[in-house]
Structure 1
Amino acid sequence: MSDAYLIGTHATPFGRFPAKDHRALAHEAVRGAIADAGLPDGQRIGQAFFGSCLMHLTGQTMIRGQACLLGLVDDGVLPVRMPVVNVEGACATGSLALHGARTEVLAGSHDLVLAVGVEKMFDPANPAGILAEIEGGFDRFDRPRWIAEYGRAAEEAGSVWAPAPDRSTAMDTYGLQASWHMHRYGTTQAQIAAGAAKNHCHGALNPNAQYRFPMTTEQVLADRPVSGPLTRAMCAPIGDGAAAALVCSERFLAEMPPRVRERAVRIRGMALSGGMFRGFDAPGLSRIAADRAYAAAGVSPGDVDVAEVHDATAFCEIFQAEMLRLCPEGQGGAYVASGAATLGGTLPINTSGGLVSKGHPIAATGLSMTYEIATQLRGEAGERQVDGARIGLVENGGGVIGFEEAVCAVTILQAPR
């Protein structure tokens, strides 16, 4: 089997952009990825995978990618008759689009495939309205089952589970997961805060980040409470943005000039896993996806030099460090608080600022994480560059099933030769 390569990646700044619609953001990301690949246009793209979760709020309930990308076809940027496959997997949507693009390339169906993720989550007329929409990432057919599951977890952890219409159920689930981990392993609120502060400091170095200010652990702890041990500074903000990637075959790459080949990032391995109702102390679905990705890539956790993980809250980074085998189970809090995951540490995590600082326009997230790791592996990350980074990892989860996500993607990327 030949390899697949990232030759073009781009992410827009993340933030609140009421004057930009989905099309404007998507076009910016696609044009940026094409320019990054050194191509005059995207006429050689054989297919696109397009992801957006909340575009139905605009009335565009179907053919989302076709409608969003048509202007680029009209302008000659994308080819006429290019097929577009629409993808949705909650917060993992961007990585699922990338997985589709890589699969098409490895299958030999196309030599160049586009992956795009775009989301608009900020409505100036109704800023809190998006919270109800995000609950579409939970199982709406059997709500009593997972409500009971979280009630049982709260009882075990000595915590409270009381979702309400005026609260974010997603943040309540993360808060309870954090409380259970604290109960089981002794993880502390200060350790979670240290991870959030670390990522805010990383985000201050990222020109694309929604929040570009450093924070201390004490400032994070003093911020407004949200749910359980989580304060506002530990939680990803609401915002808009888009990201895109171009995936090509080995054959296509061989035709490119040296300046393109020298920046091509190999997708060394990629794997998915699905959520289930599991025991609270059983490994999560990201452990399954990670083990599959490590095996496919022929690497071990010790080979990873830099990682982007899905920290919708700062607690998630602690948990994912454990699930990805970057530290022993139960020691994620101490690991992150020790500075090991900080720039200059043994394995920097979320150099972009993570979701808590970079932002989290959900369908764009996975591809923005891919953009960050590609930038690191190319040695182009500027002040936040990880010295000598050769192997990078992206973990992106979405939705909720039981006590974990509904779907997870783990990608292993390798630096250009």
Structure 2
Amino acid sequence: MRDVYILGTSCTAFGKRPDTGFKELTREAYLDVLADAGLETGTDIEMGWFGNCGMGTFGQRNIRGQVCFTPLVREGLFPERVGMINVEGGCATASMAFHGAWKDILSGQAEVSLAIGVEKTFFPGDAARTQEIFDGGIDQLDPQEWQAYYAARGKEAGKPFDAKAAGGTVFMDTYAMQAAWHMKRYGTTRQQIAIAASKNHHHGSLNPKAQYRFKVSVDDVLQDRPISYPLTRSMCAPIGDGAAAAILCSEDFLRAQPADVRTRAVKVRASVLTGGKYRAPDEPGLSRVAAQKAYAAAGLTPADVDLAEVHDATSFCEIFQAEMLGFCEDGKGGALMESGATALGGRMPINLSGGLVSKGHPVGATGLSMIHELSLQLRQEAGDRQTGRARIALAENGGGVIGFDEAACSVILLEAPAGA
């Protein structure tokens, strides 16, 4: 086993970009990550991992990464004959790409590996195409299984589930049921969910790459358009496009780089993937298992984590994940948000990027956008949203749904450069 380092990261602006294609987003993220890594071309890259969920709606399946990188190979910006592995895992896609690149270096199979996630989910006038992408995140072979599960869980939560009425909001309905159950069990309030949402909109207002760059007060969050009670629009991640990337390398390769590159390299302490199941409502989620494995692998505890990016597809998710990751006791996530601890300037800032609800959520790029934000923070390069000196950062990214679980979950632990 070898130490693995992040040599460079990148993230495009997230938002509704109907005139920018997959190849253009790929180019933007790739050239930016080369520059951040101090590389003129990708000559040293020995393997690529390409994450995407929606390109099949354009008819391009199977060789998505190879197609998007063809112009870059032709121009000598990406090396010829390098393998490109296509990855798809719902909203956890980019983290799976990162995990693959990490394993390349960890195992000694490569000295330098690229992970990139590229996504378009906004199609003007064609909501069916957007829906097709998200439909892939839930079982389409035996839908009666999750319909029966949600019907039962809805009764327990006091929020009945109607598969026909859910329509395109089935994912928001699943989160809403979890929120309703949590509120019933622990006394979590809509006010606390709104505080988490308002906090992240404030963080997003400081992020030049965020899809939403405006503040939203707690009252305005609560009064926004209902999506699925108790959730309002401001508590839910938007539809959008974007790309993000990371170049990972070995310690030997890093030693050969110029000093200004070496001093910015972020160390990967752990990368863990777990899989979901149909769990009981009071059973911990798969992110707790992933976090516990990551902490054990890194020799760390939740108390060692200085900041985190978590998968707030809805603002309730941030409350829940704070509990699953060990930042507070079960049932105390709402109080944690209310305390101000997770805001910029707090003792445990979460989602300084703005999170998914403000930064945006182009599903195949989201996980790597988290790595980009945390790398900026650990290098002290985050500008107006910079937290204090931070040594350890955590990224939690879930994808798809199996009952109340995500289908897949990634937890990654990062360590700041020695001189940061």
TM-score (norm 2): 0.98
Do the aligned partners of 1:131 and 1:168 also contact (CA within 8 Å) in 2?
no
Residue aligning to 1:44: 44
Alignment of 1:327-406 (within 5 A): 327-406=328-407
2:81 paired residue number: 81
Shift of 1:127: 4.0
In the TM superposition, residue 125 of structure 1 has moved relative to its aligned partner by 2.5
Measured in 1, the distance between the counterparts of 2:154 and 2:323 equals 22
Who is 2:154 aligned against? 154
Deviations for 1:177-220, whole angstroms, at most 9, x for unmatched residues? 11111111111111101100000000000000000001111000
Aligned residue for 2:270?
269
Corresponding position of 2:113 = 113
- How far, CA to CA, are the matches of 2:131 and 2:225 in structure 1? 18
Deviation of 1:132 (Å): 4.1
Contact kept? 2:57, 2:132, Cα under 8 Å: no
Aligned equivalent of 2:322: 321
The DSSP-based 3-state class of the residue aligned with 2:406 is: coil
Residue number in structure 2 paired with 1:204 = 205
- Is 1:54–1:121's contact at 8 Å kept on the other side of the alignment? yes
Residue 131 (structure 1) shift: 2.6
CA contact (8 A) 1:135 1:169 kept: no
RMSD: 0.9
> Secondary structure at 2:122's aligned position in 1?
coil
| Bigger mean CA offset, 371-380 vs 67-76 | 67-76
Residue 181 of structure 1 corresponds to: 182
- SS of the equivalent of 2:82 reads coil
Please say if residues 2 and 108 of structure 2, whose CA atoms lie closer than 8 Å, have aligned partners that are also in contact: no
Aligned equivalents of 1:325 and 1:296: distance in 2? 16
The aligned residue for residue 104 of structure 1 is 104
Structure 2: which amino acid aligns with 1:90?
Answer: G
- Does structure 1 residue 141 correspond to structure 2 residue 138? no
**What does residue 412 of structure 2 align with?**
411
Q: Note the alpha carbon deviations across 1:307-348, whole angstroms, 9 max, x for none.
A: 000000000000000000001000101111211100011100
Gaps of 5+ in 2: none
Instruction: Give yes or no for the alignment of 1:6 onto 2:11.
Output: no
Per-residue CA deviations over 1:14-42 (Å, capped at 9, x if unaligned) read: 00111110110011101100100011111
- Whether the aligned pair in 1 keeps the contact of 2:57 and 2:133 (CA below 8 Å) is no
| Secondary structure, aligned partner of 1:398 | strand
Consecutive aligned runs of 4 or more in structure 1 exceeding 6 Å deviation: none
| Partner amino acid, structure 1, of 2:221 | V
Amino acid across the alignment from 1:211: Y
Contact 2:205 2:354 in 1 (8 A): yes
Q: Note if contact 2:53-2:133 (Cα within 8 Å) is conserved in structure 1.
A: no
CA contact (8 A) 2:7 2:266 kept: yes
C-alpha distance in 1 between matches for 2:77 and 2:168 = 43
Gaps of 5+ in 1: none
Identity among equivalent positions (%) equals 56
Query: SS in structure 1 opposite 2:409?
Result: strand
Task: Name the SS for the 1:119 alignment partner.
Answer: strand
Judged with a 3 Å threshold, the aligned counterparts in structure 2 of structure 1 residues 178 and 306 are, in CA distance, closer, same or farther, namely same
Shift of 1:291: 0.4
Per the TM alignment, residue 160 of structure 1 is displaced from its structure 2 partner at its CA by 1.8
Aligned AA for 1:95? S
Does the CA contact (< 8 Å) of 2:157 and 2:178 recur in 1? no
SS across alignment from 2:331: coil
Kindly state the Cα deviation for residue 167 of structure 1 after the two structures are TM-superposed. 3.1
Range with greater deviation from structure 2 (167-176 or 302-311): 167-176
Cα distance change of structure 1 residues 181 and 128 upon mapping to structure 2, 3 Å threshold: farther
- Counterpart Cα distance in 2 of 1:337 and 1:132: 37
